[in-house]
Structure 1
Amino acid sequence: MNLQLILGNFALILFVLMVVTGVIWFLDVFYLAKQRRHAADRALAEFDGRNAKLTADGIKVDHAANRSAIEHALLRQPTWIEYSGSFFPVIALVFFLRSFLYEPFKIPSSSMVPTLLVGDLILVNKYTYGIRLPVLNKKIIEINNPQRGDVMVFKYPKDMTQDYIKRVIGVPGDKITYENKRLTVNGKPVSYAPMDDYLDDEHLVYNKQYQENLTGVSHRILNNEQAPTLNLADVKHFPHDDACTYNYDGFTCVVPEGNYFMMGDNRDNSADSRYWGFVPDKNIVGKAFFVWMNLSNLRRIGGIH
């Protein structure tokens, strides 16, 4: 599922804005403000000298008011510096929060239904899988690794400008088998408990719904009985594709070191690792953990399971 950002590469745009406004702010604080102060002091000294001469000649002047107006005019920041100084701390705070703590995304498609619905506004924890350099997304501090069952946001391996969200099905070293729409992890079949059919509002059809227990993590999934287990024609070449074997009933993959196998909860309506391959650790963005708003359904607010 493609997670739409307001702008194509918002992190880079925000970083550039922070640098530009920050340079202007520091330049003003440590240089330009002092230059304005020196200019004002010179002008006030000249003003005081002229007034002293006029007073000596018996001419009355409004010394205080004129002096204050001159000082205010000379010390006033130019508009471009004033706005930069105002925006810099706000931009810097937003950049820090979304780079190292939490980043918001909007769900635009249905590949994670019923866990996430179209229009859900979610928060992603940026530090739970390690601290990464902003923009470059290079990990500099190890913290935790993704676990089976996590809902994770990552850079789409086929197009690094796009952010995708799926559920972690396999971690490095796992053997994942998917046959007849059922998962087996490391030789152990995943358990499924039938639930009431789920109405697909987008296509106005009912799908089979199950409670899937993925090695201890319970969540809901959907299956479309009319759809094949796998569309072999949609499987693309990808790095480490020799670790997978495919047939008309499904596939088996052994997850390479430093990679993860991802699938959508809407199993028959999700372009995921079955078709375009594994997700390298370097592509990880963070762990989705909270729906903070859905304008069409306020009951959606809450944690993600």
Structure 2
Amino acid sequence: MTEWNRKEIKEESPVEQAVSSRIEEIRTEKRGWKKWAAGTGAMACVLFLLSHVFFGLAVVEGSSMVPGYQDQDLTLYGKVRGELKRGDVVLARIQDGRTLIKRVIGLPGEEIYIEKESGGVYIDGDKLEEPYIQGQTSPGIGQENPLTLQEGEYFIMGDNRENSSDSRYYGPVKEGQIRGKVLWSLRKD
């Protein structure tokens, strides 16, 4: 006879069975709590990464992007990965620390010219079609006209050209100043 056959099988009393059963229940509950805590922690990490690495939320302040974006609109923006395109709406941090929502007009290496009389915006000599603007575009104060953008610089303007503080006044923004590209917006009203 083998050794495992010779082992004596001991029967548990009803009290021992109840204690064993309760111990197993507690172990199962602990595993459940551990799974819940691990799942909650993982979800918190994912939400943190999404909101701090990939995406962000911002509220529009002012009317510089009317008619497309209104004061107090909530925007979801994606952190910039790769190059921006003309027409992209971005959030940019300017020299005084404010973050503004503006549209990318000029790209690195391009020459921007704003005609004073007509308000036309020209990129490398070609007039830019801008169906999204409101108001007359003026050249601005203190900026070269024409202005050639350097590597990593963008010329940004608000769509409400008569009521927008933008690159016409504070100059081009550097790539590092652009926080993200607007992906979606929600109107307050």
TM-score, length basis structure 2:
0.71
Q: Which has the higher strand share?
A: 1
SS for the counterpart of 1:119 is coil
Q: Where does residue 122 of structure 1 map in the other structure? A: 75
Letter in 2 for 1:280: K
Q: Which residue of 2 aligns with 1:172?
A: 108
The 1:185/1:287 distance shift into structure 2, 3 A limit, reads same
Q: Who is 1:147 aligned against?
A: 85
CA distance in 2, matches of 1:278, 1:177: 13
Q: Could you list the runs of 5+ residues in structure 2 that have no partner in the other structure? A: 1-9
* SS, match of residue 265 in structure 1: coil
Cα offset, 1:185, TM superposition: 2.5
CA distance in 1 between counterparts of 2:188 and 2:179 reads 25
Residue 252, structure 1, aligned to residue 146, structure 2: yes
Aligned residue number for residue 162 of structure 2: 268
In the other structure, the counterpart of 1:92 is 45
**Structure 1 length-normalised TM:** 0.47
- The CA distance in 2 between the partners of 1:187 and 1:96, in whole Å, is 43
Displacement of 1:267 in angstroms is 1.4
Number of residue pairs the alignment of both structures matches: 175
Residue 112 in 1 paired to residue 25 in 2? Answer: no
Q: Is the contact between residue 139 and residue 168 of structure 2 (CA under 8 Å) also seen in structure 1? A: no
Give the counterpart letter for 1:261 in structure 2.
Answer: F
Aligned in 2, Cα 1:81/1:158: closer, same or farther, shift over 3 Å? farther
Q: CA deviation at 1:113?
A: 0.7
Query: 1:257 aligns to what SS in structure 2?
Result: coil
Opposite residue 167 of structure 2, the aligned amino acid is: S
Equivalent residues in 2 for 1:218-233, closer than 5 Å: 218-223=131-136, 230=140, 232=141
Is the Cα contact below 8 Å between 1:158 and 1:276 reproduced in 2? no
**SS in structure 1 of the partner of residue 164 of structure 2:** coil
Shift of 1:280: 1.2
Distance, in Å, in 1 between the alignment partners of 2:188 and 2:155 is 32
Q: Which amino acid aligns with 1:220?
A: I
RMSD: 3.4
Corresponding position: 1:163 with 2:99: yes
CA displacement 1:65-93 (0-9 Å, x = unmatched)? 3334345557765xx97875343222222
8 Å Cα contact 1:181-1:229 kept in structure 2: no
Paired letter, 1:281: E
Contact 2:110–2:124 at 8 Å: present in 1 too? yes
- Rounded Cα–Cα distance in structure 2 between residues aligned with 1:294 and 1:122: 9
Q: Which has the higher contact order (CA 8 A, sep 6+)?
A: 2
Q: Which position in structure 2 is the counterpart of 1:139? A: none
Sort the Cα spacing of 1:261 and 1:69 in 2 relative to 1 into closer, same or farther, 3 A. Answer: same
Give yes or no for the alignment of 1:277 onto 2:171.
yes
Query: How much does 1:109 deviate?
Result: 2.1
Compute the displacement of 1:264 (Å). Answer: 0.6
CA distance in 2 between counterparts of 1:163 and 1:64 reads 67
AA partner of residue 173 (structure 2): V
**Residue pairs, 1:181-220, within 5 angstroms:** 182=119, 183-190=121-128, 213-214=129-130, 218-220=131-133
User: How far apart are the structure 2 equivalents of 1:181 and 1:268?
Assistant: 14
For structure 1, which runs of at least 5 residues remain unmatched after alignment? 1-51, 131-142, 191-212, 236-243, 246-250, 297-305
Q: Give the 3-state SS of the residue equivalent to 2:159 in structure 1.
A: coil
> What is the one-letter code of the residue matched to 1:174?
E
1:20-53, Cα deviation, whole Å (9 max, x unpaired): xxxxxxxxxxxxxxxxxxxxxxxxxxxxxxxx9x
The amino acid of 1:184's aligned partner reads Y
